[in-house]
A = this chain, B = another copy of it.
Amino acid sequence: MYRDIIELINEKKFGLLKERLMEIRPADIAELIDELEKKDKIILFRLLPKDIAADVFSFLSTSQRKDIVDAMHETQLNEIIDELYFDDKIDFLEEMPANFVKKILSSSTEEERKLINQFLSYPESSAGSIMTIEYVDLKKEMTVKEALQHIKETGVDKETIYICYVMDAKRKLEGIISLRKLVLYDENLLVGDIMEKDFIATTTMDDQEAVADLFKKYDLLALPVVDKEGRLVGIITIDDIVDVIEQENTEDFQIMAGMEPSEEEYIHSNVISLVKRRAPWLLILMLSATITERIIGVYDEVLQSITILAASIPMLMDTGGNAGSQSSTLIIRGLALGEVDTRDYMKVVGKELRVSLLVGLFLGSVNLLRMLLFSSAGFMVSFVVSITLISTVIIAKVVGGVLPMVAKKLKLDPAIMAGPLITTIVDALTLFIYFNVASALLNI
């Protein structure tokens, strides 16, 4: 892709390169920059007119932005930052070191400085941290015609003009109105008469995940953010919510695999930060798994008298872990999407019991047959293994189904109760059952 551009850079044909870049969408230029050598990406970025440069900049990843910031003069950089939408500007400043932010603040007007500081103070993942201030404000006394004229005059710098906001003199949000309505309705109607007064809004401190849920539920394009007094402080648009949804999913994937979540792209993460995110959970799980050592220690005699029992331990543990992961994943996902509720407790237990009984009997029978036909374990040992297998599947599925709901109830993230933790718990239970069934049935 874009081989010709790399050639143009190499041949230093900057005039032609500039023309060629005009034909490419900002998102594609950003993707191209991601693949270039550091010195080439600086050359290319400097050739962009500043409005396009700002657009491209808003599509770049953190590490790319840092490369560019390092190489740019302060004045050039200020020009680009000025062109950014306010939410992209805040997003960028959040990633930068404190002394860089200070420099930017010192070259801003006092009003803007105040605003930037206010926005930087919203906690990460809050509605405040993803909102923007470039919205269209209308008055309820305006006619539709006047409103459209007002949009025409002020709309060019707004992040969206498709949803407009009506405030009173104290900036309290009174209603919202879509451009759809303004275009479709009679031009002599009053905004105040046709605006939506029973609108959905969020507050600055709400969690971005809850905000995303509102967008999903009501198919919104934009959502107003108000302060405690109901004054409009910003809006959130759907394009940022799409990013939030992917980010929250990534976080769930990472937590479910037993890691500290992070927004850092894998390719650009350094080794130490990857170690720091992975080691703690691995350590906790490793130490928890040592309980299995104790169980095996206690039943050492059973194992010593029939060492063939040891051979089935890995298979039993794996199957238990897998069965538990299936259930916990379904419940964690159901809770995240709002399809499962903590009140559905008994329904989940009932369903998992029935499913696990069927799955367990199926796997147990196959295993019994397999061991009888292909192993030298003999009937009684095969029978003990199969009975344990059935019990393991049942326990794993019920534990896997219930623990995420318990976590939610305790206001913990249900995603913690995924494969790794469930496996550790189920392993201990499996061994306990295994040795007890063995000593009972094999008369050890």
Q: Are B303 and A307 touching (Cβ within 8 A)? A: yes
> Quick one: given A215-B242, A296-B310, A334-B267, are A326 and B184 in contact (CB under 8 Å)?
no
Q: Are B293 and A375 touching (Cβ within 8 A)? A: yes
Closest chain B residue to A238, Cβ basis: B238
Q: Are B318 and A293 touching (Cβ within 8 A)? A: no
Closest chain B residue to A419, Cβ basis: B419
- List B contacts of A219 (CB < 8 A): 27, 239, 242
Q: Are A310 and B303 touching (Cβ within 8 A)? A: yes
> Quick one: given A162-B162, A258-B322, A300-B307, are A242 and B245 in contact (CB under 8 Å)?
yes
Kindly provide the distance from the CB of A195 to the nearest chain B CB, expressed in whole angstroms. 16
- List CB contacts (< 8 Å) of A210-234 with chain B: 215-219, 221
Query: Is chain A's binding surface mostly helix, strand, loop or mixed?
Result: helix
A414 within 8 A of B: no
- List CB contacts (< 8 Å) of A224-270 with chain B: 238-239, 241-243, 245-246, 249-250, 252-254, 256-259, 265-267
Q: A275's contact among B27, B216, B355, B375, by CB below 8 Å, is which?
A: B355
Give residues in A with beta carbon < 8 Å to B: 23, 25, 27, 31, 148, 151-152, 155-156, 161-162, 179-180, 183-184, 198, 215-219, 221, 238-239, 241-243, 245-246, 249-250, 252-254, 256-259, 265-267, 271-272, 274-275, 278-279, 281-283, 285-287, 289-290, 292-293, 296-297, 300, 303-304, 307-308, 310-315, 317-319, 321-323, 325-326, 328-334, 337, 339-340, 344, 347-348, 351, 354-355, 358-359, 362-363, 366-367, 370, 375, 393, 419-420, 423-424, 427, 431
